[in-house]
Amino acid sequence: MSKAKGEPFIRISSRSALPWYMAWLIRGLSVLAALIVGSVVTVLVTGENPLSLYVTMFEGSFSTARRTWLLVQNIAILLGVSLAVTPAFKMRFWNVGGEGQMLAGCLASAACMICLAGRLPNWLIIALMFLTSMLAGGIWGFVPAYFKAKWGTNETLFTLMMNYIATQLVAFFIIIWEVPKGAGQIGIINAQTEIGWLPVVGPSKYFLNILIVAVICVFMYFYLNYTKHGYEISVVGESERTARYVGIKVDRIVMRTMLLSGALCGLTGMLLVGGTDHTLTTSITASRGFTAVMVSWLAKFNPVWMILTSFLIVFLQRGANEVATTFGLNQSFSDILTGIILFFIIGSEFFIRYTVNVHIGRSRKEAAGRV
Amino acid sequence: MFDFVSFIPRAVMQGMPLLYGSTGETLTEKSGNLNLGIPGTMYVGAISGVIGAFFYENAVPADVALNPAIAIAVTLLSSLLGSLLMGLIYSFLTVSLRANQNVTGLALTTFGVGLGDFFGGSLIKLTGSDMAYMSLNRTSNIFRTTLPFASSTGWFGKIFLSYGFLAYLGVVVALVAAYVLRHTRVGLHLRAVGENPNTADAAGINVNRYKYVATCVGSMIAGLGGLYYVMDYANGIWSNGAFGDRGWLSIALVIFTIWRPNIGVFASILFGGLYILHMYIPTGMNLAIKEIYKMAPYVVTIIVLVVTSMRSKRENQPPAHLGLSYFREER
Amino acid sequence: MEANVTRNLVPAVEMRNITKRFGSVLANNRVNLTIYRGEILALLGENGSGKTTLMNMLSGIYYPDEGEILINGKPAVISAAKDAFDLGIGMIHQHFKLVDVLTAAENIVLGMPGKLDMKASISRIEKICKDYGFEVNPIQKIYDMSVSQKQTVEIIKVLYRGADILILDEPTAVLTPQETDKLFAVLRNMRDDGKAIVIITHKMNEVEALSDRVAVLRQGQYAGDMPTSSTNAQEMTNMMVGHKVSLNIVRPDPINPKPRIEVNNLTVRSEDGILKLDHVTFTARSGEILGIAGISGSGQKELLESIAGLQKTEGGAIDYIENDGRHVSLIGQDPVKIADMGVTLSFVPEDRLGMGLVGNMDLTDNMMLRSFRRGAGVFTDRKTPRKVAQNVVAELDVKTPSLATPVRRLSGGNVQKVLVGREITSAPTVLLTAYAVRGLDINSSYTIYDLINHQKEHGVAVIYVGEDLDVLIELCDRILVLCGGQVSGLVDARHTDKREIGMMMTRIGGTDHE
């Protein structure tokens, strides 16, 4: 038999299945590989011992109680946004507008704090902050979903643009509300009266935020896994044809889910304004809306794993910040390390989904297929 | 009276980084890759050029004039190399490893901005300056050399001749890209790859190679946008974060131009104009309203996006396979 | 022996002892086939007889496991589409490979080397059109074209590349009779021009109208060939279906059959405007299996989906008849509304993992597809579906590692058992099945027949769309034959044979003799 020319030497085929622990082993190994590459890069740039580097990273997060609280607070906010965008992703709706939906929530709650202070009782203002922030975020999420459902408008690009509209809207109100006039910033809102500040509960001023996000996390876990809505989202995400076959109205699910997604983003924004920062800036969200896309995706849209992935990202950022200050690098070094680690994890998915066979000569097993 | 003679050159200079960015992203998207890493790539293109220029300036004593040819070559080459690397990372992950394009792109932007700020910050430190910026005005002066007669021909010179060579190059690159896409075999094959990789594959087109090349060339073009910004628009002054959201605006511009770089030439100037319009509209004491005017480019982009999807004219839609990875399933 | 040795023709392609396996399935078994220049060869065979697989090995999509291919007398290796082009072989697939937003001319030159010169290309295309009598506008966009125009573009694409061996895979399946006539005229022109042409088909009338010679495949094997002029439809059908095989499927007599589903003048058009069902009228009765026979794409899918509330209809009526004789109209309803009206209608679609089930979900969650709305609260009840899953696994003997296994990892037979199991759990009064045993081994197939018979004995009105005529004849009570979206016959399965149905499948106007 003649030897076929043009036969590939590397053959890539879909894996039928990999036990979950193998999948996580691959992901773990990729993080390890990323840390090694990261330390090589760091050593090349700084000449420091990589081990002391990682010790420093650890210290950055855990050396003092305050740092640990700050770490957990940051995890909570990032986790909050990640949980919020997850239902949309599970539906295969690429919502990269978490940033804008969050900002809309920030804006709404700041508006309540500023405009209603002294006119309404504090508890009512806080209640309104919850309500309006969710409403504002929800609207920001619903608009792109509506156009997607009705006309198939590309949601990635639409939600991306909505981010910048939100930013400009916030910039507009910052100037309206600036203190003092001409300062170009708002400063701490109600610094004296603390109206609209979420009450300090438990051991830290961050505790309430953490608690609320924990509740959202539990809620999202049950919502996605045990409710009719969650089930519909899964079916629509897996196969729109199956969804129609069992009579699910795909358009309605898309709009409803994005309303929820946006509302939760808005709520997280409120936690940031009402709970910790007590101010409003255009960069208050610190790109968490984008980072959340990665956190959610890395956790395979599972709320429980998301605690781990958001921890990983925040830990890296804070650790790298610490490295930067200790070793006299600038803060942005953390973004480089985060980027490298993300690349490795993103790349590792390939080895979970596919097998690569390198072989010489012709293979007989051409159509083994799925069993 | 609206001052067009001063407005138009500023709009053009504001628009050029966007033109490079959108031309690069258009080529990339035509291959079916939605590269949300473009903001990071443009940033890296800028900082790589800055690094190249920095070392060349430091190698030449301050009282000796720079050799313009070497200065341009060093800066351009290091800029192109930096953004090529970004394109390669994106292509390797999304094409070879079939990773999710959105996630990869966002990670690339994080990485690129980090890279830019890190090296930017380090260089600023190296200069020993207390300021949060560094100036490469010797190189920048070369980049900003305008055409002859720019200052002696009045309004004509101001509007048409008063730019550095990168601005003219940007227009040329956009027009060439438009020509390649429309009238050459490479362009035809590229469009087929982005629309329907299965068909392209069946017709004997190497889908992965097209995706790689388009993404890398696109990244390099976008990177030049970053370089233009720092070397020409910003007079060679680098400060972290100054580049702003121009990367995202470039992606918006791609939609606005309905994937046509030749339209991009005018659209980028229009966007540049919208971007600075707030400085030209008399608002009196109302500074806040300026922020609303700054929304214009994004609102206009959304309107274009929605209207094209409603009218569903097939030529104006995003490439059909945009955002999806291609895998020829074995039978 | 080859029938053409006496005629003075030059062989373009010789396939010798070609064998191709897919896993355990033997798609082609030592097939010998010769294709001559200046001749139209019809490659005839039932669904799944291996016609397309055989031709795909000429076009570079598959590579034979065994055997050898000679092109123009020389051994050839065809491992990619490009190899086929280089050898002058062009295949027009059933699913067109065209880029919608490009023009006809751009599609035609796609993938070819050299400088792009659209003007020169267009004039070459126009010349090809003139030579063979095609009618196509080279600068028209593909998305603006009708199916037949797209097909024309595919044919020109192949000719443009200089192909002189053309293979057409069921080219008329999507064409109107007028378009078919036009295509045939063009194909005859090409034959007279000295090209070798193969047309894959299972329509006898086309074979007779067009071909010079007919070669028949049966279950992956070469059943023989003969000049078209010396054979007739009867003989070809015999060769195609082979001898009667007794399957010994049990067929209980219907008990007290009553009209359950009444379809009246149902007309359906696809999104691109093609008439899929044309005034279809029939009645399905309780306690009876109504078989639907027909060449694939004759409207079976649209018929079932119309009844299930998944297909937009253009005209006509579908009535469900309650036990008390009340009529409920199913036209314009969706699956949820139909269920709300108290009609328990179950549907086993053709595309099991893409429509009937969610491949990535486990057994329990797939059982839930039908039941997740039940109950008042916001939470889903997983206990009942789990019990259903357990029952289905136990009663239908589903081989699965656990209930938590994603169904895509099960074998085809087990996937089907899960799907059918779920659909009959709701105790339906109507059961629609499409190709319920396709791809299943003998044992799984018999399990499915038993399940369907069981439903019939419980008074369910079963509509069974099938492709294997032997099975249809032994399993069903009555068989409705569709051809091109029209009813071409309705026969009593106890008093018919494959030949009669085969004729009806390919010709409108079969007789109605219940």
CA dist., res. B48 & res. B70, Å (int)? 16
Helix intervals (H) in C396-441: 412-425
Q: Give me the amino acid identity at A358.
A: V
- Quickly name the fold that domain B4-316 has: ABC transporter involved in vitamin B12 uptake, BtuC (1.10.3470)
- Report chain B's C-alpha Rg in angstroms: 20
Superfamily of domain C11-241 in CATH is P-loop containing nucleotide triphosphate hydrolases (3.40.50.300)
Helices (H) and strands (E) in chain C, counts: 16, 20
Span C131-180, pLDDT tens digits = 888 888 999 999 888 878 898 999 999 899 888 999 998 887 667 667 78
Residues in B touching A314 (Cβ below 8 Å): none
Rounded Cα distance, C389 and C425, in Å: 10
User: pLDDT tens track of chain B, all 331 residues?
Assistant: 567 788 888 899 999 999 999 999 999 999 999 999 999 999 999 999 999 999 999 888 888 888 889 999 999 999 999 999 999 999 999 999 989 898 899 899 989 998 998 888 888 888 877 777 888 888 888 888 877 777 777 787 778 878 889 999 999 999 999 999 999 999 999 999 999 998 898 888 889 999 999 999 999 999 999 999 999 999 888 888 888 888 988 988 898 888 999 999 999 999 888 888 777 777 766 777 888 888 888 898 899 888 888 876 777 788 888 888 887 654 3
- C349 neighbors C356 (Cβ within 8 angstroms): yes
Alpha-carbon dihedral of residues C463, C466, C468, C473, nearest 10 degrees?
20
Sorted by where each begins, the domain ranges of chain C are 11-241, 258-344+427-514, 357-425
The DSSP call for residue A4 is P
Question: CA-to-CA distance for B51 and B56, rounded, in angstroms?
Answer: 9
Q: Which of C53, C23, C62, C441 is nearest to C222 (CA)?
A: C53
Contact status of C336 with chain B (Cβ, < 8 Å): no
Name the B residues in 202-221 with CB < 8 Å from any A CB: none
Q: Where are the alpha helices (DSSP H) in C262-333?
A: 300-307
A357: β partners: A11
Hey, are the CB atoms on C357 and A370 less than 8 Å from each other?
no
Selecting from B200, B314, B331 the residue whose C-beta is nearest the C-beta of C101 gives B314
pLDDT in tens, A174-219: 998 988 877 778 889 988 888 889 888 888 888 999 999 999 999 9
Position B177: which residue type? A
Q: What is the dihedral of CA A129, A130, A132, A133, to 10 degrees?
A: 100
Alpha-carbon distance of C429 to C360, in angstroms, equals: 30
Give, in order, the Cα–Cα distances in Å from C464 to each of B29, C226, C346: 47, 35, 12
* CA dihedral angle for residue C177, residue C181, residue C182, residue C185, rounded to 10 degrees: 170
CA–CA dist C371, C366 (Å, integer): 10
- How many Cβ atoms are within 10 Å of A320's Cβ, its own excluded? 26
pLDDT for residue B146: 79
Please state the ipTM of this predicted complex. 0.86
Q: Judge whether C293 and C505 are in contact, CB under 8 Å.
A: yes
Between strands B133-135 and B237-239, the pairing is: antiparallel
**B134 in helix, strand or coil?**
strand
Does pLDDT of A364 surpass 50? no
In DSSP notation, A118-140 reads: TTS-HHHHHHHHHHHHHHHHHHH
Chain B positions in Cβ-Cβ contact with residue A330 (cut-off 8 Å): 117-118, 121-122, 125
Is C357 in contact with A242 (Cβ distance < 8 A)? yes
Which residues have C-beta within 8 Å of that of residue C411, sequence separation ≥ 6? A371, C399
Residue of C nearest to A236 (CA): C358
C-beta pairs of A181-185 under 8 Å, 24+ apart in sequence: A185/A279, A185/A281
Residue with tokens 């029209």: C486
CATH class of C258-344+427-514: alpha beta
Greater model confidence, A116 or A39: A116
> A225: Cβ–Cβ under 8 A, 6 or more apart, which residues?
none
Residue C215's Cβ-count burial label (10 Å; 0-12, 13-18, 19+) is buried
- When CB atoms are compared, the residue of C63, C349, C368 closest to A245 is C349
CB nearest to C101's CB, from B195, B202, B204? B195
Closest CA to C348 of C301, C288, C391: C301
The one-character DSSP state at C406 is B
Interface of A with C in 218-247 (CB under 8 A): 222, 226-232, 234-235, 238-239, 241-242, 244-247
Please tell me the distance from the alpha carbon of residue C266 to that of residue C283, in angstroms, as a whole number. Answer: 12
pLDDT for residue A288 is more than 80: yes
B285 touching A, CB under 8 A? no
Cα end-to-end span (Å), chain B: 70
Length of chain C: 514
How many CB atoms lie under 10 A from the CB of residue C459? 18
Grouping H, G, I as helix, E, B as strand and the rest as coil, residue A110 is helix
Site of tokens 């995202």: B248
The pLDDT value recorded for residue A265 is 96
By C-alpha distance, the chain B residue nearest A355 is B97
Instruction: Please choose, from the candidates C401, C400, C448, the residue with its C-alpha nearest in 3D space to the C-alpha of residue C421.
Output: C448
Per residue of chain C (514 residues), give pLDDT as tens: 444 444 567 889 999 999 988 766 788 999 999 999 999 999 988 766 888 889 989 988 888 889 999 999 899 988 887 888 889 999 998 788 899 899 999 999 998 888 888 999 999 999 999 988 888 899 999 988 887 889 899 999 989 988 899 999 888 766 766 778 888 998 999 899 899 999 998 777 788 889 999 999 988 889 888 999 888 877 887 787 776 556 678 888 888 889 999 999 999 998 767 888 999 999 999 999 999 998 777 889 999 999 999 998 999 999 999 988 889 999 888 888 898 888 889 999 988 888 999 988 999 999 999 888 887 788 888 888 999 999 999 888 888 888 888 888 887 788 888 999 999 888 899 999 998 887 676 677 888 898 899 999 999 999 999 877 888 988 999 999 998 889 988 999 999 887 788 778 776 544 444 3
* Rounded distance between C-alpha atoms, residue C511 and residue C514, angstroms: 9
**DSSP structure string for B197-229:** HHHHHHTT--HHHHHHHHHHHHHHHHHHHHHHI
Distance of CA B232 to the CA centre of its chain: 14
N-terminal to C-terminal alpha carbon distance within chain A: 29
How sure is the predictor about A5, in pLDDT bands with cuts at 50, 70 and 90?
Answer: very low
Q: How far is CA C285 from CA A93, A171, C456, in A?
A: 44, 70, 10
Using CA atoms, how far apart are residues C506 and C209, in angstroms rounded to an integer?
13
| Residue type for position C144 | D
Q: Which residues pair with A358 in a beta bridge?
A: A10
- 3-class secondary structure per residue, A10-21: EEEEECCCCCHH
CA-closest candidate to residue C288, choices C19, C512, C494, C51: C494
pLDDT at C24: 67
Cβ A34 vs Cβ C93: under 8 Å = no
Domains of chain B: which residue ranges?
A: 4-316
- Identify the pLDDT of residue B304: 85
Q: Six-digit token pair at B40?
A: 């990071």
Does the pLDDT at position A3 exceed 60?
Answer: no
Confidence band of A349 (pLDDT split at 50, 70, 90): confident
Is A368 touching C (CB cutoff 8 A)? yes
How far from C485 is each of A247, A261, C40, C150, CA to CA, in Å? 26, 45, 28, 21
Torsion over CA: A231, A233, A239, A242 (sign): positive
- List all chains that touch chain B, counting a touch as 3 or more CB pairs closer than 8 Å: A, C
The residues that bridge with C262 in the sheet, in sequence order, are: C283, C319
User: What's residue C509's pLDDT?
Assistant: 45
With CB atoms and an 8 Å threshold, state whether C116 touches B188: yes
Q: How far apart are the first and last CA of chain C?
A: 42
Please indicate, yes or no, whether the overall pTM of this predicted structure exceeds 0.95. no
How do strand C327-329 and strand C315-321 relate by DSSP bridges?
antiparallel
Q: Which residues are registered as beta bridge partners of A97?
A: none
Tell me how long chain A is. Answer: 371
Instruction: Report d(CA B67, CA B50) in Å as an integer.
Output: 16
Q: What would the mean pLDDT of A245-269 be, rounded to a whole number?
A: 95
Q: Which chain B residue has the Cα nearest residue C98?
A: B199
Q: Are the Cβ atoms of A151 and B312 closer than 8 angstroms?
A: yes
Share of chain A above pLDDT 90, in %: 45
Residue C290: phi and psi, rounded to 5, are -100, 115
